[in-house]
Chain A
Amino acid sequence: MKKIALLLAFFAFGLQVLMAQTKEVSGKVTSAEDGGAIPGVSVSVKGTTIGTVTDMDGVFRLKVPQDSKTLVLSFVGMTTQEIDLGNQTKINAKMVSENISVDEVVVTAMGISKEKKALGYAVENVGGQELTQAANTNLGTAIQGKVSGIEVSSSSGMPGASTKIQIRGARSFTGNNAPLYIVDGTPISSTPDVGTGNSVTGTDYADRALDIDPGDIESINILKGQAASALYGMRASNGVVVITTKSGKGAGKGKPQLSFTTNFAFDVISTMPEFQNEFAQGTGGAYSPSASTSWGPKIAELANDAKYGGNTTNANTNRDGKKPGMYYVTQRAKAGLDPWVVPAVYDNANEFFNTGLTQSNAFNIAQGFDKGNFSLSLGNTMSNGIVPSTGLDRYNAKMSAEAQLSKSWKVGFSGNFVTSKLTKQSSANNGIVATVYPAPPSYDLAGIPSFVKGDPYTQNTYRSTSGFDAAYWAIDNNKFTERSQRFFGNAYAEFNTNFNTENHKLVVKYQLGDDAYATNYSDVWGYGHANGKGEVDQYNYTINEMNSLLTAAYNWKVNDDLVFDAVLGNEWVEYGRKYTEGYGKDFNFSGWNHIDNASVYQASDSYRTERTIGVFGNLALAYKSMLYLNVTGRNDLVSTMPRDNRSFFYPSVSLGWIFTEMDLFKNDILTYGKLRSSYAEVGQAGDYYASYYSTPVYGGGFSSGTPILYPINGVVAYTPYATVYDPSLKPQNTVSYEFGADLTFLKGLVNLSYTYSRQNVKDQIFEVPLASSTGSSKLVTNGGSIHTNSHEVTLGVNPIKTKNFKWDFAFNFSKIDNYVDKLAPGVNSIFLGGFTEPQVRAGIGDKFPVIYGVSYLRNDAGQIVVDADGMPQSGEEKVIGTVSPDFRLGFNTSFTVFKFRLSALFDWKNGGQMYSGTAGLLDYYGKSKRSGEYRKSDSFLFEKPAVKVTGTDANGKQTYATNDIKISGADAQTYFSNLNNISESMIYDNSFIKMREISLNYPVVDKKGLKVNLNVFARNIIVWSEMKGLDPESTQGNNNMSGAFERFSLPGAASYGFGLNLNF
């Protein structure tokens, strides 16, 4: 925040050096509270335009006319001070902070800086330090818990794991709900190139926000409501994340300022399910060497097994002789090891995961000149994940500079280059965890080679590998990589004039931005995958987005009470996406998993261009620093809509009223109070094509493969594609209202802010299922509506503020309720992901989204009905869980004791449910501790309140009594097998409290010219959740189903680390 003020001050004063009869005045400005230097304070001679700003050390040096009398020191958030100059040439001043929230300046839409008090809507700011206090290298998760009204769903603790950021709920069922990212004035892509689809197999795909290095961020402004983002038009209907990176604007003149930050972090698995360690692989109490389950005999009894025991007479002992106390392990024999071993218990899951290591470095050099500044940043992150073979290497470079060519002309540029390589592993149903967690405790997963002796391509593990690759084999043979190169940045020229008047000002700026990247994906399933010959898929996206932006801002101070602002602008966005894919399968021979070794090939290619042209305007009136009215309008013309339906206009209006400016409300308790309200409309365009032809594809239904494949005898067919496009498609429209208040008590001791917003989204664009008697199956049209109510509260308290001890804390609370109001006629639900059952979907009248699947059999009174054995039964398919939480609460606090600063961040999610296939399957496999305990017990009752059938009454209706039918421990396998058929049994409340971040910072050296800070931190080390042993945030999917569904998902990670920051 200070740095933005600094930037402004710099513009105002920094570059105007008057040559006259002068003397030099110098000094240092420090804070009255903590004695720390304040950089960026504007120092000027009263009544003149002569001035400068303090440097990073709070030091200023200014040539002033001999006859100067008074120096004015001003800084946003501090009380302006006038100092009588007299004959002094050395001035050391202390500044007192004033009510921070009052004059805070924020960057709003289109880079327009405004005082926060002038806004009629809510925006929220996260500073660079706050963002990186725990050295998180992933921007998405670094924001978690720090802002209200925003939901961040992370997918796992893997390096580069996708995160979904959603501001104030969803506006689209199946489309994009991600906010627009603006980095230094240029919109950049933040969403994944590739969606995870149903999200039940394969790997995760990184989102492109991964390319932003949090270490280079100066501050983030989040424009939450549509009124705040209206100037950006269509693309901003999901809110905007405005990122300002470090630049030379804050650097003082003179010698360059260098900073270097390095962090090391160790990652461990955040939580592990509890496993039983008594029972061996097998089923029905008998040992079975290829069973996927652990319902075998006691491990200690394996030597007595009739077929494999060394104590008994069987085929194996007949051949090898008796092996007392040992048993025969077929997989050891296949791997060429001595097959006879003493039964033992193996901690397979813990042995599998690595300790991850993340190292990140950031270097920045910045310098200010008389007529400009520059900044150069270099950063890298090298990370090895807790799952072997996963990792991320990322290199960032950025250069920005600015030059004042003349009094009226300024030019500048900013350019980022990022290259990254991400290695991943498969997740979900048949992913890598699916053969780690369920591995029987009797099986030595790490010790027995995962392939047969002499043939590294034939798998060897405890279970069949037709659908599930052996975990250790998979990390050696299946490779999933994403390589990306990206440039984004902009160049601009700015002209300003005051028309030689005191009260008019015009700034015209033209900026040309570009975001260009290429991402190369490679999925290799090695020779031997699923007992087959492997396959390889190489696919590449090359994307370029050019952004031309012209703005003219006019400011007119009509009189002392009235200020008029106007902005007019034009934005032109040109987007191109090239996709190429080469697919090969069935490698000719093993050992070379390369597309050139494939025996079957397929290739595909596509190119898509899009253009958006927007014209926008903004009118603002400010009256007596008390009433602020803002009106915006934007017209977008988009190529991706049908002809004659491409032009759309969206208005917004907002009003802020600082009632404490009125004498009537002036008091010492409520020192600042503002009421604000806004109304806005903004749309989202569809992705319209002219309906097209394609080659028909056969399969599905009863077919297990592809029964018919073109070309047939050299003939290829083309027929109209079953999904057709509505030529009268119109944009979906979001109407939003927002009301809120910002209150400051006791001059900043307590800051409270509340916002209520309501969004009504209608005419949602999606693929509406058709009556197929039309001859087509889906129509891309406007077909649904959804509404959101959201409440956001932030409360900041600074109870202690002394020189050597400071304590502050803040809460941010969000309650976001998203409801589906309407779907196109005949559409009852929309599939978002998952299996045929269970799945994640949107349904009319339900909160968005819900989990749908097989429920417990219930009677008319809604009670679960058990069968004669006391076992629960499968009922109808219905909504079995709601995903969205009741509320989220972030809590952050920091203590400063002398020079030690301790910060902590907690995040509480209350309510909401998810499907956890892992928990259910570990019971089903007999691997969970719970399954072992049930098995050992004499008997147990089905856990949920239930009833049993007692007979029928006179009307033939069934009668019920409370369930008291005990299930024998010996029937535990049947019990969990029954539960496994009932998806509702795997629905868990996933409320959680996480200590997301804790860090301790100490400035070891704090001298002029050298500052050294030491930092110790930890992330996600305390997780409390109702889902025992699983990270409630490790879920499937990088799309709208994320956060709802889990089934052998890759686990979450906890990190411990330390860092060093040097400034000189």
Chain B
Amino acid sequence: MKKYINITKGFLATLALSALVISCSEDAMDDVNKDLNHTQDAPSKFIIADVITATAFSNIGGDINTYTSAYVEHEVGTDNQLYRAEHRQGEPSASSTFNNVWGGLYGTLKNARLVIEKCSAGGSQEGNQITKGVAEVLAAYNSGIIADMFGNTPWTQAALPSKTGAPTYMNPKIDTQEEIYKGIMKYLDDAITDLQGTDAHATGPLGTYDLLYGGNKAKWLKFAYGLKARYTMHLLKRSANAATTLQTVIDCADKSFKSADEQAAFAIYDASNLNPTFDFQWSRDGLAASESMSQKLIERKDPRLRRVFVGADWAQVTGADDPNFYMAPNGENDQVKYTYNTSVFVFSQTAPTLMMSYHEVLFLKAEALCRLNKATEAEAVLKNAVVAAIANTENSVAASMNAPAVNDNGGLTETSDAISETEAMDYFDTSVKPLFTANPLKETMNQKYLAFFGASGESTECYNDIRRLKGLGENLIKLNNPNQFPLRCPYGNDDTTTNPEVKTAYGTGQYIYTEPVWWAGGTR
């Protein structure tokens, strides 16, 4: 009997002890729970690759650009959500409308900040200054979209990388747009410093993971200056000294792109990776050609008129006298697909998204010069801008004519010749110059407006221009839509349902029709 008890005792004791020692410690359990199927970390370049892609495809070229293209009358919303947006029913003030891009912007900003953290002092890739600089440019850019679209919005407590992944602040507080702009400028200034450094960490430089510039730091530096010019111009109304501000714009523009080859063009689109404007229309068919856009082109005898519209039969419309010329009246169109003309750009499957274009930099400089009453200087800059803009238009038209998916379905019919550089210059001299002479600022802004019409994702910045001009009391661009103009985008419903401060700020959402953003004269 005793023997059995002893055996039992020994057996139990051994088992219990071994179980405790081997299997129960937190380290042992951590080992068991180790996630072998995913990585818990990745070097910065793998993150940057998507920060660039998400910024270009989703945040710049995506839903905000689609809706604002209707607001600024580059396009007309003609079906479902875009039709309602065109008619200012529901969509412009609904918190669901921009929710995807709301989440996308903050997610991208978080990833950019994560890279900055990794490449900063004490981070895991300390010494990769160029990578850090790139991340700073992109953090500034995404913060810019956030501040420009939503005004006062979560920022300092939002989009923070955390060690565990769980948010540091479950309900990030709202910051003023002014605060966010200070942050944007700081990011850009830091970037300008960092981009003059090196990537010294063992993980190496970005190389091909930089889907924008292939690791060319000089181009990133120019991009940073370009953005600084843009955001400085945004703050003109809030500037204590307009002349200094405008000079800063000019100085920055001068340090920015020297040609279209240097512009920030996200040019990876092909048969399977799609230009976002094309992706929208190919999926939804929600956009039609804008009557007010055609009027501006007709008024100027603009050669782009024969290039940029396509009939329901997919043939390029030669002009206002083309029997198929059928524009959708802004804000007064019917909800109907495949009926009105569309812009040619909705077929531009492979046209790059311009995160910032060479022509934008030129337009910024031209505007600054106009405002400083240096019309002669401005005219030369503007001429370059218009020629560059038309070249970009032709680039997108060519993308439409060669779009793989469109060609699989028969393709577009091109009915006119491309606009050559010479023709563009002639156009400037004959049509633009008289208008410029009459009102330099007005024509500069109108030409910028026309330049931003396309497949390059520039309607968003056009929307900023229009609001900025309204804020300055300058109604230089004529819009036809008789319905009320949305002054901003509503917060996303991921926050209006969960984040109490945002929920309160959102209210019914009707503020988007009444309250301009801070840099356009508003208070929030």
Interface residues of A (CB under 8 A from B): 408, 495, 497, 499-500, 508, 510, 550, 552, 570, 572, 605-611, 613, 637-640, 643-644, 646, 688-694, 696, 698, 700-709, 712-722, 724-727, 769-777, 779, 781, 825-828
A611 and B47 contact, CB distance less than 8 A:
no
Q: Which residues of A contact B502 (CB under 8 A)?
A: 771, 773
In the complex, per-residue mask of B88-119: 1 if CB is within 8 Å of any chain A CB, else 0: 00000000000110110011011100100000
B273 and A775 contact, CB distance less than 8 A:
no
Q: Which residues of B contact A613 (CB under 8 A)?
A: 19, 23-24
In the complex, per-residue mask of B174-206: 1 if CB is within 8 Å of any chain A CB, else 0: 000000000000000000000000000000000
The answer, yes or no, to whether B16 is at the interface (CB within 8 Å) is: yes
Q: Which residues of B contact A499 (CB under 8 A)?
A: 1
A713 and B268 contact, CB distance less than 8 A:
yes
B47 and A717 contact, CB distance less than 8 A:
yes
A608 and B29 contact, CB distance less than 8 A:
no
The answer, yes or no, to whether B153 is at the interface (CB within 8 Å) is: yes
Q: Which residues of B contact A643 (CB under 8 A)?
A: 26, 29-30
B33 and A693 contact, CB distance less than 8 A:
no
B37 and A605 contact, CB distance less than 8 A:
yes
The answer, yes or no, to whether B66 is at the interface (CB within 8 Å) is: yes
The answer, yes or no, to whether B438 is at the interface (CB within 8 Å) is: no
For A693, give its contact among B1, B41, B53, B154 (CB under 8 Å): B41
**Binding site secondary structure of chain A:** loop
Expressed in whole angstroms, the Cα–Cα distance for A644 and B11 within the complex equals: 29
> Which residues of B (258-298) have their CB < 8 Å from a CB of A?
268, 272-274, 276, 279-280, 282-284, 286
B492 and A727 contact, CB distance less than 8 A:
no
B32 and A611 contact, CB distance less than 8 A:
yes
Q: Which residues of B contact A779 (CB under 8 A)?
A: 166-167
A774 to chain B, nearest CB (A): 4
The answer, yes or no, to whether B159 is at the interface (CB within 8 Å) is: yes
A715 and B209 contact, CB distance less than 8 A:
yes
The answer, yes or no, to whether B490 is at the interface (CB within 8 Å) is: no
Q: Which residues of B contact A497 (CB under 8 A)?
A: 1, 4-5
B70 to chain A, nearest CB (A): 13
For B63, give its contact among A644, A701, A715 (CB under 8 Å): A701
Given known A-B contacts A707-B279, A773-B499, A775-B110, A698 and B8 have beta carbons under 8 A apart:
no
Specify the chain A residue showing the minimal Cβ separation from B15. A550
B46 and A773 contact, CB distance less than 8 A:
no
Q: Which residues of B contact A550 (CB under 8 A)?
A: 12, 15
Given known A-B contacts A692-B40, A828-B497, A610 and B211 have beta carbons under 8 A apart:
no
A339 to chain B, nearest CB (A): 31
Specify the chain B residue showing the minimal Cβ separation from A726. B166
A776 and B165 contact, CB distance less than 8 A:
yes
17 contacts between A and B (CB under 8 A): A408-B4, A570-B19, A606-B36, A608-B37, A693-B38, A702-B279, A704-B284, A707-B279, A715-B209, A720-B111, A720-B161, A772-B102, A772-B106, A772-B492, A773-B153, A775-B109, A775-B160
Expressed in whole angstroms, the Cα–Cα distance for A776 and B161 within the complex equals: 10
Given known A-B contacts A692-B39, A709-B272, A772-B102, A717 and B53 have beta carbons under 8 A apart:
yes
Specify the chain A residue showing the minimal Cβ separation from B27. A643
For A722, give its contact among B107, B208, B495 (CB under 8 Å): B107
Q: Which residues of A contact B284 (CB under 8 A)?
A: 702, 704
Q: Which residues of B contact A825 (CB under 8 A)?
A: 498, 500
Expressed in whole angstroms, the Cα–Cα distance for A720 and B39 within the complex equals: 9
Expressed in whole angstroms, the Cα–Cα distance for A675 and B268 within the complex equals: 75
B154 and A715 contact, CB distance less than 8 A:
no
Expressed in whole angstroms, the Cα–Cα distance for A909 and B266 within the complex equals: 61
B474 to chain A, nearest CB (A): 33
Expressed in whole angstroms, the Cα–Cα distance for A500 and B2 within the complex equals: 11
A609 to chain B, nearest CB (A): 5
In the complex, per-residue mask of B287-318: 1 if CB is within 8 Å of any chain A CB, else 0: 00000000000000000000000000000000
For A774, give its contact among B32, B114, B158 (CB under 8 Å): B158
Expressed in whole angstroms, the Cα–Cα distance for A769 and B494 within the complex equals: 8
B487 to chain A, nearest CB (A): 21
Expressed in whole angstroms, the Cα–Cα distance for A960 and B106 within the complex equals: 49
Given contacts A613-B24, A693-B38, A774-B110, could you give 5 more A-B pairs where the C-beta distance is less than 8 Å? Answer: A639-B33, A696-B54, A701-B62, A717-B50, A828-B497
Listed residue (B4, B114, B169) with the most chain A CB atoms within 10 angstroms of its CB? B4
The answer, yes or no, to whether B172 is at the interface (CB within 8 Å) is: yes
A727 and B57 contact, CB distance less than 8 A:
no
A772 and B494 contact, CB distance less than 8 A:
yes
Expressed in whole angstroms, the Cα–Cα distance for A92 and B141 within the complex equals: 97
Q: Which residues of B contact A715 (CB under 8 A)?
A: 49, 208-209, 211
A705 and B46 contact, CB distance less than 8 A:
no
Q: Which residues of B contact A717 (CB under 8 A)?
A: 46-47, 49-50, 53, 209
B159 and A707 contact, CB distance less than 8 A:
no
A713 and B211 contact, CB distance less than 8 A:
yes
Specify the chain A residue showing the minimal Cβ separation from B43. A718
B57 and A698 contact, CB distance less than 8 A:
yes
**Binding site secondary structure of chain B:** helix
Q: Which residues of A contact B32 (CB under 8 A)?
A: 609-611, 639
Expressed in whole angstroms, the Cα–Cα distance for A639 and B499 within the complex equals: 33
For A771, give its contact among B54, B58, B172 (CB under 8 Å): B172
The answer, yes or no, to whether B416 is at the interface (CB within 8 Å) is: no
A712 and B211 contact, CB distance less than 8 A:
yes
Expressed in whole angstroms, the Cα–Cα distance for A715 and B45 within the complex equals: 10
Q: Which residues of B contact A770 (CB under 8 A)?
A: 167, 170, 494, 498
Specify the chain B residue showing the minimal Cβ separation from A778. B494
Q: Which residues of B contact A609 (CB under 8 A)?
A: 32-33
A409 to chain B, nearest CB (A): 8
Q: Which residues of A contact B58 (CB under 8 A)?
A: 698
A688 and B164 contact, CB distance less than 8 A:
no
For A646, give its contact among B26, B51, B171, B286 (CB under 8 Å): B26
Q: Which residues of A contact B33 (CB under 8 A)?
A: 609-610, 639-640, 688-689
Expressed in whole angstroms, the Cα–Cα distance for A119 and B94 within the complex equals: 58
Specify the chain A residue showing the minimal Cβ separation from B11. A510
B347 to chain A, nearest CB (A): 15
Given known A-B contacts A702-B66, A769-B494, A716 and B110 have beta carbons under 8 A apart:
no
B42 to chain A, nearest CB (A): 4
Given known A-B contacts A719-B47, A772-B102, A773-B153, A611 and B29 have beta carbons under 8 A apart:
yes
Specify the chain B residue showing the minimal Cβ separation from A776. B167
A612 to chain B, nearest CB (A): 10
Q: Which residues of A contact B498 (CB under 8 A)?
A: 769-771, 825-827
Expressed in whole angstroms, the Cα–Cα distance for A718 and B49 within the complex equals: 8
Q: Which residues of B contact A773 (CB under 8 A)?
A: 102, 106, 153-154, 158-159, 172, 492, 494-495, 499, 502
B37 and A713 contact, CB distance less than 8 A:
no
The answer, yes or no, to whether B35 is at the interface (CB within 8 Å) is: yes
Q: Which residues of B contact A705 (CB under 8 A)?
A: 283
For B40, give its contact among A638, A691, A772 (CB under 8 Å): A691
Specify the chain B residue showing the minimal Cβ separation from A706. B272
Expressed in whole angstroms, the Cα–Cα distance for A772 and B497 within the complex equals: 10
Expressed in whole angstroms, the Cα–Cα distance for A703 and B66 within the complex equals: 12
Q: Which residues of A contact B164 (CB under 8 A)?
A: 690-691, 724-725, 727
A495 and B35 contact, CB distance less than 8 A:
no
Q: Which residues of B contact A772 (CB under 8 A)?
A: 99, 102-103, 106-107, 492, 494-495
B35 and A572 contact, CB distance less than 8 A:
no
Q: Which residues of B contact A827 (CB under 8 A)?
A: 497-498
For A776, give its contact among B107, B273, B283, B492 (CB under 8 Å): B107
A774 and B167 contact, CB distance less than 8 A:
yes
Expressed in whole angstroms, the Cα–Cα distance for A605 and B38 within the complex equals: 10
Expressed in whole angstroms, the Cα–Cα distance for A773 and B415 within the complex equals: 47
Given known A-B contacts A700-B100, A713-B268, A771 and B24 have beta carbons under 8 A apart:
no
Q: Which residues of B contact A721 (CB under 8 A)?
A: 38
Given known A-B contacts A646-B29, A715-B209, A771 and B15 have beta carbons under 8 A apart:
no
B58 to chain A, nearest CB (A): 8
In the complex, per-residue mask of B47-73: 1 if CB is within 8 Å of any chain A CB, else 0: 101110110011000110010000000
Expressed in whole angstroms, the Cα–Cα distance for A572 and B15 within the complex equals: 11
A771 and B499 contact, CB distance less than 8 A:
yes
